[in-house]
Structure 1
Amino acid sequence: MEKTNWVANYTARSDFILVGIFNESKHPALLCLVIFVAFLMALTGNTILILLIHSDAYLHTPMYFFISQLSLMDIMYISVTVPKMLMDQVMGMNKISTTECGIQMFLYVTLAGSEFFLLASMAYDRYVAICHPLRYPVLMNPRVFLLLASGCWFLGSVDGFLFTPITMTFPFCRSREIHHFFCEVPAVLKLSCSDTSIYEIFMYLCCVLMLLIPVTVISGSYYFILITIHRMNSAEGQKKAFATCSSHMTVVILFYGAAIYTYMLPKSYHTPEKDMMVSVFYTILTPVLNPLIYSLRNKDVMGALKKMWNVEPVFHKT
C-alpha cells in the first residue's frame, strides 16, 4: 500500500499542469469552439494550398515550393499544441508528463526555428527573381532551393536539440503549474528552483543570432528589391513586384514580431497573460492567416483553385 502511494505521488510530481487560457476566460466553452474552428481552418487552408501547389504544374516554381514548405510547417506547428489543449478542456484534464512536455517543446522549437530561416530563404528567392530575372533559373535551380529548404529544417532541428535537453534537465522543485497552454521554454524555465540566469543569457544570444541572420538576409533582399522596383519603367511590373513581396512581408512582420516579444524582450515586459496571448497569436492565428495571405492575394493560386473546381481560370500569367 505504501509502495503504491509512493508511486502515485512520484507520478504526480513528474507531471506538469498546464494552466492554459481557458481558466482565464469567462466563456471557456465558446473560446474552445473558436479555437477548434481556427484549427480546422488552418488545417484546411494549408492542406488545400499544398495540394494546389503539388497538383498544378504551373505552380512548380521555387517560390511556391517554399510556400508549400511554410504550409507544411504551419500544419505541424498548430498540431503540436492545439489538439492537446482542446482535448484537455473537453476531458477536464490539464496534465502533461515530462516526456510529453519535452517532445512538445522539441517539435515546437524545431518548427519555429525552421520557419525563421524559411522566411529568409523566401526573401532571397524574391530578390533573385526580381533583381536577376535572367539568371533566376540558374541561381534558383532545383538543387539550390531543395538545399535551402533542407538547411532550414536542419537548423531548426539543431535549435530543438540544443534547447530542449538543457531546459528539461533543470530540477523542477517549485510548483508544477505551467502558466501556459503548452510547454514553451520560457514558461517551463520559470518552474526551476536552480539558477538559470546563465542559460537564459545563452538562450537570448542564440535567439538574437537566429533572428539576426534571417533579418539581415530579409532586410538586404528587400533593400535591393525596392531599388530595382523604383528603377522599373513598367507600372504593371512595379505593381506585380509589390504584390508578390507584400504578402511575404506581412507574414514576416507577424511571425518575427511575436518571436521578438517572446524571446528577446526583458522579463519586466512579460506577464503570463501577455505571454499566452502572444503565443495564441503566432501559434494559432498565424497558421490560419498564412494560406489566406498567400492565396487570396495571389492570382496564380486563385487560378489553380478555379481549375481544381473545373472552372476556367480568370487570371493568366503574362
Structure 2
Amino acid sequence: MSYHQEESFVDHSEYYIIPSSSSSTLLNHEHLKQLGEEFLKESISSSARLLYITVVGSTLYNLKEESPSSGSDFDLLMIYMLNGEQFLSMPSFSIDEPELTYVDVNAIGSSKTRVLNLSEKGLTSVTKDGHDISCFEIGKFLELCLHGNPFVFQALFVPDYFVHQYQSREWMELKLLNKYFLNKKVVSSHCAFAKRQLQQGEGKIKRAYQKNYYHALRLCYETERLIQGLTPLIRFEKNSPEREKLMEIRNHLPSEEKRSEYHQFIMNKLSSIEKTKPWNKVLNLHEIRMVDSGKYFVYHLNQWLIRLRVNDLLSRVEK
C-alpha cells in the first residue's frame, strides 16, 4: 500500500463539492494538514508532530447534504505525537513542556469558562472559531481504541478515499493493523454508547431528541457488523436502507408518534444484539495474535509505539 492520498478512484458524485464561485475553501488533506500543524503549534507544543486529522460527525458518516469548507462549522479529530524528549523527560525539566487543556464549551463566552489541565491524560478538547477540535496524543489514542471508545476507534477505519482527512506515513502504517483492534470490549462499548444516546434522547423535547436517536441507530448498525467479525462501515452509502433510515430519523418533523416508533425500532436492534452474546466471532483482546508472527497483538502494538517514539527522538538528535 502506498502512503500517499489515493484519489484517482474516488467517485466524486458521492460528495457535494462547493461551487468554484464560492469563496470557501474545500477542506482537503493539504488544508487540513496546515490547519492541524498550526493548531498544534499554538495550542499543544511547537514540536508536536501531526499524525492524523479528519473531519468527523455527519460529514464523515455521509449523513449530511453538503461538503465542509473552511467557512462552515465542522468538528475535527486530531492525533499527534509529542517529541521523544518531551515524552521521556521529567515533566518539570522537559523542554517546551506541553500545556494540554480542556475548555468547557458550555461556558464559552461567560465568566464561568473553565480551563482544566489534562496534561496527565494526553488529550485536549477545545472550541476554536466555532469548531470543536478533539486532540489525542498517540499513546492515549491507542489506549482508548483498545478499550473500544467508538469516537476514537472509528478513526482507524476511515476509508482512504474520504477527502476530508490528512494521513501521515506513520498513520498509514498503523491503519494496516486496524483489524486487530476488533475485540469484545469494542462491541460492548458500542452497545453502551448506543444505549446512552437513546437514554439521552428520551429526556429531550421536540427536535432535540432526533440527533441522539440517529446516533444510537448508527452505532447499532456498526455493532451488527462488529459481532459478525466485520470492520465498521463508518460511511453509509447513498440509497442504502441503513442511510435512508438514519436520514429519515434526522430530518423528520418531530411528533410523539414518530418518536415512539423510532425508539422501539432502536430498542429492537439493541435487544437483537444482546441475544447474540457471547459474540463468538469476536475475540477478547488478550486472545488476539498477529497472523504473520503469532505474537500477541498488544505486545506488537507496544513495540510499534516504542519504535515510533525512538525513531522520532533519534531524528531530532541527528538534526
Q: TM-score of the superposition, structure 2-length normalised?
A: 0.30
Structure with the bigger RCO (C-alpha within 8 Å, sep 6+) is 1
Structure number with the higher helix fraction is: 1
Structure whose alpha-carbon radius of gyration is higher: 1
